[in-house]
């Protein structure tokens, strides 16, 4: 006989307790505990979805030396940017979570991917828990999508979804979104911690047992993280974030977890009336509106996965009106700004302690690698001295606390990207000058300290 067990679960982090508490010990949030009924015993596990359930009980431990290593076959879409973010294509049996702000274009992206797979004579089941089939059809008409291999289902019951997957046997499945799907045996409301966890677990079994790639859409909280318990991101094979301002046309698809590829890859898309269009050369996009001859502007070659991207970094230094000067940063870690300003003040002699500092990465890109330190430092010094840098200069390097410029990775790819876009000079660490060939019509200057870099970039 099954027994009913009552528990309380935090709707923010998934922390479970036998009694209600006002403040969650796990995440520190207030009034987030909700009562849930859990079934224990024989009937609690009788509903296991997926056609091939008995296969999970036949596996036995194997010696790792006896296992044949085969390269995972990948299915490529018609979007090279999407394939790049996933590590080269879609892996059969993978479970991919796509998150992003409301209205950013998650459903549009996945519907376009579904249509591209259907055009390859691969059956795709698109399950929408938020829209009717007619609403999905309206979006498909706007995107000029139509294929007999693309099936649309409006359903939120997980048992019915699994039944349709068993009948149709699709090659790919899209769930939009996981917060609307519910399992009947779980008494809490759809979107709760228990429902999201249990539904994702069942979908993972279906994907692994039958080799069906499943894409699930996840809502995000106002802090920008995917709603639901953190275990949701641990269960899936890949987590993709769709970023960008809703009122701007450019979108960035970024991988923050990928069991089958790099987690540093980034894809750039542009939102058009007919759908998302990939941007094959993002460096030109980020530099097309750069002001010529303006102080406080520098260019850096940043690596996003295996791709070098040229981005403009802007700095505005102005005298403060208050006792404590402001330090604000957009697109870079805000803790890096006071650190670099302290290096400039101590090692170079710039009096910045009574100056407000505002740092911005143009284009809405977020940079987090240490190779951008030198470009930020030069931009700050350029704005403070009101002395512009040369428009054809690029600054690359990590800045240490003693003012030294440390070597960075993949300097050759960064310099080749600069040469491709017509830049004339690259200021980089002197330690990086060995072991590679400089492109024609490009001057590479090696520097050992911040002072030396400022002498080269701004003049003495």
> What are the tokens at 233?
């991101």
**Whole-angstrom distance, CA of residue 340 vs CA of residue 290:** 24
394 assigned binding-site residue: no
106 assigned binding-site residue: yes
105 assigned binding-site residue: yes
**435 — alpha (psi -120 to 50), left (phi > 0) or beta?**
left
103 assigned binding-site residue: yes
Beta carbons within 8 Å of 265's beta carbon, 6+ residues apart: 84, 85, 87, 254, 255, 258, 304, 305, 306, 307
211 assigned binding-site residue: no
305 assigned binding-site residue: no
Beta carbons within 8 Å of 433's beta carbon, 6+ residues apart: 444, 446
> What are the tokens at 81?
């940017």
190 assigned binding-site residue: no
Beta bridge partners of 216: 97, 175
**Whole-angstrom distance, CA of residue 197 vs CA of residue 201:** 6
Smallest CA-to-CA distance from 108 within 78, 144, 134 is with 144
Beta carbons within 8 Å of 194's beta carbon, 6+ residues apart: 9, 36, 38, 186, 188
Q: Which residues are annotated as a binding site?
A: 100-107
Would you list which residues are annotated within the binding site for ATP? Answer: 100-107
């Amino acid at each position: 006989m099954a027994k009913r067990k009552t528990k309380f679960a935090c709707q923010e982090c998934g922390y479970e307790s036998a009694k209600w508490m006002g403040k969650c010990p796990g995440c520190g949030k207030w009034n987030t505990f909700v009562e849930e009924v859990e079934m224990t015993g024989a009937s609690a596990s009788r509903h296991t979805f997926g056609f091939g359930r008995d296969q999970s009980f036949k596996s036995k431990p194997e010696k790792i030396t006896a296992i044949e290593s085969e390269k995972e076959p990948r299915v490529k879409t018609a979007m090279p940017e999407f394939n790049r973010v996933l590590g080269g294509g879609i892996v059969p049996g993978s479970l991919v979570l796509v998150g992003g702000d409301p209205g950013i274009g998650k459903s549009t992206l996945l519907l376009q991917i579904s249509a591209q797979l259907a055009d390859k004579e691969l059956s795709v089941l698109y399950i929408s828990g938020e829209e009717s089939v007619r609403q999905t059809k309206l979006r498909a008409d706007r995107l000029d999508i139509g294929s007999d291999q693309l099936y649309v289902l409006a359903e939120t019951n997980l048992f019915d979804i699994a039944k349709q997957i068993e009948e149709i046997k699709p090659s790919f499945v899209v769930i939009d979104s996981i917060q609307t799907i519910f399992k009947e045996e779980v008494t809490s409301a759809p979107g709760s911690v228990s429902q999201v966890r249990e539904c994702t677990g069942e979908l993972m079994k279906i994907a692994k047992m039958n080799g069906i790639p499943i894409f699930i859409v996840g809502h995000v909280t106002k802090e920008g993280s995917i709603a639901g318990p953190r275990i949701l991101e641990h269960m899936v094979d890949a987590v993709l974030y769709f970023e960008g301002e809703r009122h701007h046309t450019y979108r960035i698809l970024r991988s923050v977890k990928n069991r089958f590829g790099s987690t540093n890859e980034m894809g750039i898309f542009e939102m058009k009336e007919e759908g998302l269009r990939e941007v094959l050369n993002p460096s030109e996009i980020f530099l097309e509106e750069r002001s010529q001859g303006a102080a406080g502007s520098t260019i850096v070659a940043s690596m996003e996965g295996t791709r070098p991207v040229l981005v403009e970094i802007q700095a505005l230094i102005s005298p403060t009106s208050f006792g404590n000067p402001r330090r604000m940063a957009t697109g870079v870690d805000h803790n890096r700004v006071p650190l670099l300003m302290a290096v400039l003040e101590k090692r170079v002699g710039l009096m910045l302690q009574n100056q407000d500092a505002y740092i911005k990465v143009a284009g809405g890109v977020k940079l987090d690698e240490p190779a951008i330190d030198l470009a930020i430092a030069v931009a700050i010094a350029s704005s403070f001295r009101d002395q512009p840098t040369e428009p054809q200069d690029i600054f690359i390097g990590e800045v240490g606390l003693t003012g030294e410029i440390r070597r960075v990775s993949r300097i050759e790819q960064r310099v080749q990207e600069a040469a491709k876009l017509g830049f004339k000079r690259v200021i980089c660490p002197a330690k990086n000058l060995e072991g590679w060939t400089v492109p024609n019509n490009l001057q590479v200057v090696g520097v050992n300290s911040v002072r030396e870099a400022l002498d080269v970039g701004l003049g003495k």
